[in-house]
Amino acid sequence: MDRRSFLTANAAVAVGASLTSIAQVASAAARPAPVDFKTNLPAPGVFPDRWICGSSSCMDNTDPPVQVHWYNEHTAILRQNKAYSYEAPFAPLYFGNDRVLLLDEGFTQLRNEWDLRGVVDECIDQWCGRNGRDPASLELLVAFSHLHGDHYLAVNQFADRPNTRYMGQTHEEMVGFWGMTHFPEERVTLDLGGRDILIWGSPGHVVSEFAYYDSYSQILYTGDMFYRGRCYISFWEPWFESMKRLIAFCDTHPVAHVMGCHVEISKDGQDYPYGMTWQPDEAPVQMTVQQLRDAFEMAKTITEPGIYFTGTVFLCNQTRGTTTIDRNPYRY
Amino acid sequence: MPQSPISAASPPSVSTRTYPNGNPELQYNPPGVRNTDSAIPLHPKAPVMHHYDCEGPAPGDLAFRWIFGSSVAATNRDPRVQVVQYNEDSFVLRQNVCVHWEAPFTYLLFGNKGALLIDSGATDNAQHYPLRATVDAIITRWSQMRGRSKVPLTVALTSGEDVAQNQGLVQFAGRPDTVIVPRPLEVMKRFYGLGNSWPSGTGRIDLGDRVIEVIPTPGTHKDGVTFYDPYCDFLFTGDLLFPGRINIGNDKDFLASLERLKAFAATRPVKWILGGHIDMMFVPGKYYRRFVNYKPYERVLELPPAIIDEVIESTREVLGKETMLIQPEYVLFNGVSPDQRTRVWPQGVPNITPPFHF
């Protein structure tokens, strides 16, 4: 909350309830009808055939720092350019009638290196233009999937943004941001204004990780705990429990797509080793519920640390981060 | 009239005085650097012949810091090829880290009858990596200074199969007065006259009073060779021996090649070993993993010749084992993934965590 809205809010309380209600009526009259996020579900949407995926020479990359893809009219998916950071995380931006949720902020810190805040502001402006809203009236929630640098590094760009709340970078602050008291089992509902986001704990890759389910597009966002690439599982037992929770959720809720934070695998299942900045034949970021179930079935058989390929993802059970199955091609 | 404190001080004694612009009392060519042509005719009428015989290694230095990429590779504006002149007849070229993370080094050596380009970089696209244009420009300038109308060029690789060193070769296809050392191993052996003596013999590339020797050194690559320059006293070892992650292709060959190299170095003066890459940081035993476009804490390129003994010792440790071994100046990967990591830290080596830049 910026200084101006803080003062106006307190002034409104001081003036009294009668005036407040009149103000609300007045603003409601100026406001167009709210977007309906509850019927005709799941809201249809499309993923692009091909995301920007780096280039053979990084300094000759001419793609924008962030690719903005509108999955549907009320959902944008952002992807960082591989030539800006090899991690190239995907970041959904969910719009509701009252607030906007940004999940993940990429792996580059400074606004003069990549203007993530500018990109997000432009998305909000576009959405508001389409829906006849005032961008200043929308609250922005800047959250992230888990406590790793490639998912929160640009948070500081939003520090002085008006009408914005951002997640803190400790486990307690993250859990507190969603008002959870029983992490990871507790499932909370975030109301973006007619659009519910279900959030629960999904530890395993790291301790502090969440799964996010958007009830409108029905995309299940699984962060780094399950994504199209090498899922580095630091803690097997909590990860397996998190998988059980995901499967149980899919049993009771309709899920259109499962989506992770990265893609590190080609369309034909070839591994792109850690740190690659060019993935010309990248697999799609979205996965099906069946692929999640298959991975879970395979996970049931895993008892030893190691790297296992499920056909969709690599389960790197307690191997150290950045290790891959790649070999020295010049062995003889 | 008050005197300034500087002029008031007594003049420094002659013996302790430093000369930032050179001591005028000294000869133009002090002993040891006698044979550099630091004064050559401005408009040579005839080819200027250079005497490549000198006492000890030819003078020169790698005084510049290597360009090291940037945290955002897409906005890097460094030169695509960094050219550092070691001396008048020896150039070191480095590929920009943001064009290709391997950032290989390429060497250009001149003799009285021709030039030798050792290795060719990791990128074939001349727009992204204009190696040919850079080499042409250096050769043109050199030939003007030395009064030559043409300079035959030989392009040789420390390993023909290494994609981090052979990609730029296509840029030299069809270049006039150019010999490209053929790539398949058997043809390459015949080219160097090593058809029957591989890997024990040595080949020669005569640049005119500067004879580069070719030592077969398979080990990281089946067709690996090392070049010895008797003028600067350098060994150009490519992927065999460099301050970085050495991925051993065949450990027995690797050990045999190092021992051969050691025997060779015992009979010749060696100032430095110059490899094809740098992966190490300037704290001992720490290195950049693959695909990194930003390496601000890179180690220097040159290795002392005594390192050969150390590497031989380390290789004996990993011989026949699938393992990696961290040493202060290099890391050996034998039969494991190039992304392998280990918690084993060499004894007695300080474990310093370098700063990490986002």
pLDDT(A190) > 60: yes
d(CA B87, CA B36): 9
Please provide the distance, in angstroms rounded to a whole number, between the alpha carbons at the two ends of chain A: 64
Q: Is B154 left (phi over 0), alpha (psi -120 to 50) or beta?
A: beta
User: How is residue B160 written in tokens?
Assistant: 């023909």
d(CA B178, CA B157): 14
Task: Please write down the long-range contacts of B305-308, taking CB distance under 8 Å and 24 or more positions apart.
Answer: B305/B235, B305/B265, B305/B270, B305/B271, B305/B272, B305/B273, B307/B241, B307/B273, B308/B241, B308/B258, B308/B261, B308/B262, B308/B265, B308/B273
Please name the member of B72, B335, B336 whose beta carbon is closest to the beta carbon of A113.
B72
Mean pLDDT over residues B279-292, rounded? 95
Each residue of A224-236: pLDDT tens digit? 999 999 999 999 9
pLDDT of residue B17: 77
d(CA A86, CA B118): 31
d(CA B354, CA A243): 37
Please tell me the CATH code under which domain A51-317 is placed. 3.60.15.10
CATH fold of the domain at B73-334: Metallo-beta-lactamase; Chain A (3.60.15)
Q: Is A169 on the interface with B (CB under 8 A)?
A: no
At position A209, the amino acid (one-letter code) is: E
Q: In 10 A of CB A38, how many CB atoms?
A: 11
d(CA A283, CA B185): 37
Q: Do B73 and A61 touch (CB under 8 A)?
A: yes
Which residues have a Cβ under 8 Å from the Cβ of A112 and sit 6 or more positions away?
none
* Contact (CB, 8 A) for B264 and B215: yes
pLDDT of residue B3: 47
Q: Do B293 and A332 touch (CB under 8 A)?
A: no
pLDDT of residue B8: 43
d(CA B85, CA B18): 26
Determine what percent of chain A is predicted with pLDDT higher than 90.
Answer: 89
Q: Contacts of residue A81 in chain B, CB cutoff 8 Å?
A: 74
pTM equals: 0.87
| Full strand arrangement of the beta sheet holding B245-248 | B245-248, B331-334, B323-326
* Contact (CB, 8 A) for B259 and B200: no
Give domain limits for chain B: 73-334
Q: Contacts of residue B80 in chain A, CB cutoff 8 Å?
A: 59
pLDDT of residue A27: 54
Which residues have a Cβ under 8 Å from the Cβ of A54 and sit 6 or more positions away?
A61, A81, A82, A83, A86, A88, A276, A277, A278, A279
CA distance to partner chain A, nearest, from residue B80 (Å): 9
pLDDT(B231) > 50: yes
CA distances B257 to B199, B261, B296, B302, Å, are 8, 6, 32, 20
Tell me the backbone φ, ψ of residue A129, rounded to 5 degrees: -60, -40
Mean pLDDT over residues B67-78, rounded? 95
Q: Is A177 on the interface with B (CB under 8 A)?
A: no
Q: Indicate the average pLDDT of chain B.
A: 91
Mean pLDDT over residues B283-291, rounded? 95
pLDDT of residue B10: 47
Q: Do A56 and B221 touch (CB under 8 A)?
A: no
Strands A210-214 and A286-287: unpaired
Look at residues B290, B282, B236 and name the one whose alpha carbon lies nearest to residue B103.
B290
> Could you tell me the sign of the dihedral formed by the alpha carbons of A316, A322, A326, A331, in that order?
negative
Taking every pair of C-alpha atoms in chain B, what is the biggest distance, in angstroms? 85
d(CA B52, CA B111): 8
Q: Do A60 and B335 touch (CB under 8 A)?
A: no
Q: Is A217 on the interface with B (CB under 8 A)?
A: no
Mean pLDDT over residues B142-157, rounded? 94
For residues B32 and A95, which has the higher predicted lDDT (pLDDT)? A95
d(CA B68, CA B78): 9
At position B3, the amino acid (one-letter code) is: Q
pLDDT(B42) > 80: no
pLDDT of residue A17: 45
pLDDT of residue B73: 96
With CA atoms as reference, the chain B residue closest to A329 would be B249
pLDDT of residue B28: 63
Task: Scan for tokens 């990359």, then name that residue.
Answer: A61
Burial of A42 (0-12, 13-18, 19+ CB in 10 A): middle
Q: Do B337 and A83 touch (CB under 8 A)?
A: no
d(CA B12, CA B9): 9
d(CA A311, CA A304): 19
At position A6, the amino acid (one-letter code) is: F
Q: Contacts of residue B290 in chain A, CB cutoff 8 Å?
A: 273-275
Grade residue B19 by pLDDT with cuts at 50, 70 and 90. Answer: confident
Q: Do B341 and A65 touch (CB under 8 A)?
A: no
Q: Do B337 and A107 touch (CB under 8 A)?
A: no
User: How is residue A229 written in tokens?
Assistant: 């690439």
Mean pLDDT over residues A95-104, rounded? 97
Tell me the backbone φ, ψ of residue B41, rounded to 5 degrees: -60, 145
User: How is residue A162 written in tokens?
Assistant: 């008006």
Residue A146 pairs in a beta bridge with: A209
d(CA B253, CA B223): 11
| CA geometry: angle A93, A97, A99, nearest 5 deg | 50
d(CA B286, CA B351): 8
Grade residue B32 by pLDDT with cuts at 50, 70 and 90. Answer: low
Least confident of A68-82, A167-181, B40-54, B252-266: B40-54
Mean pLDDT over residues A297-319, rounded? 96
Q: Do A331 and B358 touch (CB under 8 A)?
A: no
pLDDT of residue A9: 58
Q: Indicate the average pLDDT of chain A.
A: 92
Residues belonging to chain B with any Cβ–Cβ distance to chain A shorter than 8 Å: 71-77, 80, 96, 98-101, 123, 125, 127-129, 161-162, 220-222, 247-250, 289-293, 333, 335-341, 358
At position B90, the amino acid (one-letter code) is: S
d(CA B340, CA B184): 30
Grade residue B309 by pLDDT with cuts at 50, 70 and 90. Answer: very high
pLDDT of residue B106: 98
Each residue of A25-72: pLDDT tens digit? 545 556 789 999 999 999 999 999 999 999 999 999 999 999 999 999
CA distances A66 to A83, B71, B127, Å, are 10, 16, 25
| CA geometry: angle B44, B45, B46, nearest 5 deg | 95
pLDDT(B79) > 90: yes
Question: What ipTM was estimated for this complex?
Answer: 0.86
pLDDT(B337) > 60: yes
Q: Is A112 on the interface with B (CB under 8 A)?
A: no
For residues A22 and B312, which has the higher predicted lDDT (pLDDT)? B312
pLDDT(A18) > 60: no
pLDDT(B351) > 90: yes
